[in-house]
Amino acid sequence: MGERRLADRAAVDADSVVVLDFGSQYSRLIARRVRELHVYSELLPFDTPWSEIVARKPKAVILSGGPASVYEAGSPHPDPALWTGRIPILGICYGLHLMAQALGGEVVSFSRKEFGPAVVSVTEGDRLFAGLEPEQSVWMSHGDSIARLPDGFRPTARTDSTPYAAAADPDRGLYGIQFHPEVVHTPNGREILRNFVVGIAGARQTWTATNFIASTVEEIRRRVDEHSRKTGTDGKVLCALSGGVDSAVAATLVHLAVGERLICVHVDHGMMRKNETELLRTAFDQLGVRVIVVDARERFLRKLEGVTDPEQKRHIIGNEFIRVFEEEAAKLGQIDFLTQGTLYPDVIESATSVKEKAATKIKTHHNVGGLPEDLSFQLIEPLRYLFKDEVRAVGKELGLPESMVQRQPFPGPGLAIRIIGEVTPERLDTLREADWIVIDEIKAAGLYRSVWQSFAILTPIRSVGVMGDGRTYANVVAIRAVTSEDAMTADWAKLPYEVLARISARIVNEVPGVNRVVYDISSKPPATIEWE
């Protein structure tokens, strides 16, 4: 599997930078920042063997920060071959400490721990700080510090509390910084990373959507053709289209590669938002992609009758989805490949975790397209090296409609987990209309892309109201809008009062059976983004 992944990536003519993950909460961000420079970068576990790193032909290696101390027993260390490998290295915080310790310097616990903003003074002309002012605002987060530099290194920047805020041995291509260039609180962090990746390591900035599309399409075509030749089959590819950007982009790439041999199936489980299935159908019609829309709305509703428990809803929808999808696949004859919109964060998640992941299950996530593992297809995952924003850039380049490319995340079980209590056709209609208004107003206010998600929830509460001269006793709808980087944590969005007022007024006026609107002001944690 490892080899195949490598081959997929190597298909793109792009220089790469390997980031070794020593457990910093910012590790992923480093890889993202490098990619923003249009240089491909991959996050690998800290103990990846040198041979595997070299096989990727990286232009440079970046060592992330991490919570451990390099002198502690059991702290994570890289393959020592790294130090003599003649590939430029940038050590960030813990990464700098590793470098200093491994090459004969000394790292100690720091009496004046530094957390938060600091100002470094660049003390010596250094390529890492090329083009920057001598005083730089940076973000520090360390409890250890260098007491003595290894031979060959010289300090290049200092702060009031440490003479070694940065150090370098340019002859060996080794650079280290005590601060974090990857976070936004280091305003020139991007320039510093650019100086290293492009200036020092000489990586070409060719990782673009256009290049990615050309080489990925070529690679998929080669793989499917080769398989057909060897097995004498048609090389048919199946794709479950959810309506989200990931599966849409994956399907479009595969379509460009194999044309008619791609068959997309969209299971309409009836929990989609207003017009979503139609939008999907039109968009793919225009692209000439064959989509089978399975109208399974009644089937799902029947299964959900009387069900109020959130986990039970999730299970029913997940299982039923698989059943419907399998039935459709069986009608299509021999299928050789299945394409999925797996993204890089999912790949990293399963590969690099330094710490044990929390074992408590919060809720059962189900991806539409999250299929059982025993299906006998080979997988095509064209997005497994992309971050979400890169997927959007590719989608845009492919000509997918803006509404699909920029669509906010939407859970696999759909509106069912935004209806608290039983899911009925009437309640789905109520929520769908209210949700439509939320999105419409958020878009009109130009906020759709700055919030992570914005939607309505139909609560089981009814409240008393007055309309005209009459008493009403009707549904309460809640509005949820959150800001977030990755959905792991989230804050409630501080929407302007005028926007909230418009949403509220429109919902009570336009959606029958709703007389009250409330705004959810909980962050995650302790709440989650969805209500169920």
Binding segment for ligand XMP (CB under 6 A), chosen from 56-64, 231-239, 407-415, 513-521, is 407-415
Number of H helices, E strands in the chain: 15, 18
Minimum distance from CB of 244 to ligand XMP (Å)? 8
Q: Is 409 in the site for ligand XMP (CB under 6 A)?
A: yes
d(CA 484, CA 449): 11
Count Cβ atoms below 10 Å from residue 208 Cβ, excluding itself: 16
Give the one residue of 144, 328, 435, 530 binding ligand XMP; rule: CB under 6 A.
Answer: 530
The most distant pair of C-alpha atoms in the chain lies apart, rounded to whole Å, by 86
| DSSP secondary structure letter of residue 19 | E
- Write the CB contacts of 196 (distance below 8 Å, at least 6 apart in sequence): 60, 62, 88, 90, 128, 175
Q: Is 367 in the site for ligand XMP (CB under 6 A)?
A: yes
Q: Is 315 in the site for ligand XMP (CB under 6 A)?
A: no
Minimum distance from CB of 413 to ligand XMP (Å)? 5
CA 202 to chain centre: 28
User: Could you give the 3-state DSSP secondary structure of residue 169?
Assistant: strand
Question: What Rg, from alpha-carbon coordinates, does the chain have?
Answer: 26
- Look-up of token digits 């309460």: 476
CA 447 to chain centre: 20
Q: Are strands 174-177 and 166-169 parallel, antiparallel or unpaired?
A: antiparallel
- Look-up of token digits 């429109």: 506
- The angle formed by the CA atoms of residues 48, 391 and 318, to the nearest 5 degrees, is 85
- Of 212 and 452, the one with the shorter C-beta distance to ligand XMP is 452
Alpha helices in 88-134 (DSSP H): 94-102
Q: Is 524 in the site for ligand XMP (CB under 6 A)?
A: yes
Reply yes or no on whether 298 is catalytic.
no
d(CA 393, CA 9): 18
Minimum distance from CB of 453 to ligand XMP (Å)? 6
Reply yes or no on whether 93 is catalytic.
yes
Residue ranges with strand state E in 60-134: 60-63, 89-92, 106-122
How many binding residues for ligand XMP (CB under 6 A)?
14
Q: Which of residues 433-462 bind ligand XMP (CB under 6 A)?
A: 453
User: Could you give the 3-state DSSP secondary structure of residue 323?
Assistant: helix
Minimum distance from CB of 409 to ligand XMP (Å)? 4
Minimum distance from CB of 362 to ligand XMP (Å)? 6
- Of 193 and 368, the one with the shorter C-beta distance to ligand XMP is 368
Q: Is 411 in the site for ligand XMP (CB under 6 A)?
A: yes
How far, CA to CA in Å, does 462 sit from each of 18, 161, 457, 458?
Answer: 55, 60, 13, 10
Q: Is 502 in the site for ligand XMP (CB under 6 A)?
A: no
Given 38, 42, 93, 255, the catalytic residue? 93
Given 180, 266, 269, 366, the catalytic residue? 180
Q: Is 222 in the site for ligand XMP (CB under 6 A)?
A: no
- The type of residue at 342 is T
Give the one residue of 158, 180, 366, 384 binding ligand XMP; rule: CB under 6 A.
Answer: 366
- The type of residue at 61 is V
Q: Is 365 in the site for ligand XMP (CB under 6 A)?
A: yes
Minimum distance from CB of 110 to ligand XMP (Å)? 37
Binding segment for ligand XMP (CB under 6 A), chosen from 158-166, 319-327, 351-359, 404-412, is 404-412
Binding mask 13-52 for ligand XMP (x = CB under 6 A): ----------------------------------------
Reply yes or no on whether 264 is catalytic.
no
Minimum distance from CB of 529 to ligand XMP (Å)? 3
As given in the structure block, the two tokens for residue 385 are 């090296």
Q: Is 525 in the site for ligand XMP (CB under 6 A)?
A: no
In contact, 97 and 54? CB cutoff 8 Å: no
Binding segment for ligand XMP (CB under 6 A), chosen from 164-172, 209-217, 509-517, 522-530, is 522-530
How far, CA to CA in Å, does 123 sit from each of 135, 156, 162, 251, 458?
Answer: 9, 5, 12, 52, 60
Give the one residue of 289, 405, 412, 516 binding ligand XMP; rule: CB under 6 A.
Answer: 412
Minimum distance from CB of 161 to ligand XMP (Å)? 39
Q: Is 529 in the site for ligand XMP (CB under 6 A)?
A: yes
Cα dihedral across residues 359, 487, 95, 4: positive or negative: positive
Minimum distance from CB of 523 to ligand XMP (Å)? 11
Binding segment for ligand XMP (CB under 6 A), chosen from 153-161, 193-201, 362-370, 371-379, is 362-370
d(CA 10, CA 223): 14
Q: Is 414 in the site for ligand XMP (CB under 6 A)?
A: no
Residues labelled catalytic: 93, 180, 182
Contacts to ligand XMP by CB under 6 A: 363, 365-367, 409, 411-413, 453, 487, 524, 528-530
